[in-house]
Structure 1
Amino acid sequence: MAAHAALPPQYYHEARKTAASHLQLRIDEVRLLKGLPYDNCEVGATVLRDFRGDIAPGTPLHFTLNCQAPGVRPMPGPNAWHDYSLLREAKFAEAFFRGISPRTGPVYGELAIVEAERDSPWCEAESGRCDLPPPEPPLVLECGGERGSWSNPLILRIADHRIAYWNAAGAGDAAERAWSPQLFPAERTPDLLEITPQSYSHASRLFTEGGERLLATRTITIDRATLAFQDRLARIDGSEPQVLTGTCRPVEDPASANTIVQPVP
């Protein structure tokens, strides 16, 4: 997304999260409106996909954005500013919209230039990042230790650029079993899954009740080629980190399977 900084990050996150539509667009025209100090770029675009709502492909849009251009400097405020020369050359973009009434632009003026048209989103609402790799088939793994002290295997699922952990603590009551976005109680917004060509990595953070103080960070790293993994627990008290290494293997999704997942041999 383009630069802005007037509001705390949670305002932009909430606006993207609650927007009615997540649109992928073809940029048809960008026109600089000379003499205006802001809202000085008029954009004509065509909807290619709505990943969240029901705006039909082919719907035309017209809206304005703040553009930095010769003689125009960004002004303080909540809305994003864009480089006119880059926007003018853009072919495709993504943004979150509350609606498409005449001249209604993306939330807080956030419009991301993306590489190409495709069937899956480039952008994510939580972080605002717009470099998501294409989605892969859901992967459910059981990870067990070769060196370390954990007694139970870890079961996790990677899907749609997110990770979830199977909480089987209520093994006697199926209603209590569920996927969780992190390994500790969620006092703050969970960290995003980091995906590189070589690995998956995710940090779960343990806070005091209310999220006021960080107590520990548990980081899971999985080699995508070998499924070797590392589970590292670091406490903020300065004690030596605990590290478990081992191997993961694909298993059935325990949420849909009526079988007991067996430990890694």
Structure 2
Amino acid sequence: MGKFITYLKTNSFRNNLIAAILTVVVILMAAFFSLRYYTKHGQGLNVPALKGLAFTQAVSKLEALGLRYEVDSVYIMDSPPGIVIDQDPNANTFVKDNRTIYLTINTAQAPNAKFPEVEFKSLREAQALIESFGLKVGDTTYKADVSRDVVLQVLFGGQVIKAGETLPKGSRVDLVLGDGKGNEEVNIPSLIGLTRDEALFSLRNGAMLNLGIISYEGTITDSATAVVVRQNPFATDSVTKVKIGTPVNITLSNK
């Protein structure tokens, strides 16, 4: 033990200890600066904002900055096809050169959806179910039936559609509902002088009748301001009532 303590006091030990400490420091410094160089510490760039851009515009921005990209696609109704709808990392995130940016693009091709079973369901229940399948409810018309606001029939493009048939997502379907009054008759309203939208409102909300065939007379310069000049059926002295759900044909003119 005494010899070891004596050795610790010698110049040889002090020189070896200093050499060992310097060696460790040099190794640590070399590792530190090598790592900074390898990872380019403090060097990088901010990710550009790509959401809402066309795919080609987004790619041009990324390539100009030396960033890579990968693409996924989804379908979102009412959004333009080929538009970037999401990105990862988000805009203004600080990243290294050559980082991969993940883009989500809205595809132009709508996937198909199976139409659900909605017959004999209430309007509210049917609408929620249809929308949950990525479809939309278009027009609603009524026909004589003891059930009120219950789906009796579903139409797509004027054709009856049944549960299990496929439609492109985003498609609109029209519903035929029961009026809850069966064969009850209502007064025929006068539509003369009304626009198409006003006539439709009067028929559905005032008389629970349906809009039938629309024809035009003369040159139509503005369909929005064209008014009804003829209707069929029209209330006369002998015929004043029709069954609920009866279609009323109209002729529009800008005269």
Structure 2 length-normalised TM = 0.20
Structure 1 length-normalised TM = 0.20
Larger helix fraction of residues:
2
Task: Work out which of the two has the higher radius of gyration on C-alpha atoms and give 1 or 2.
Answer: 2
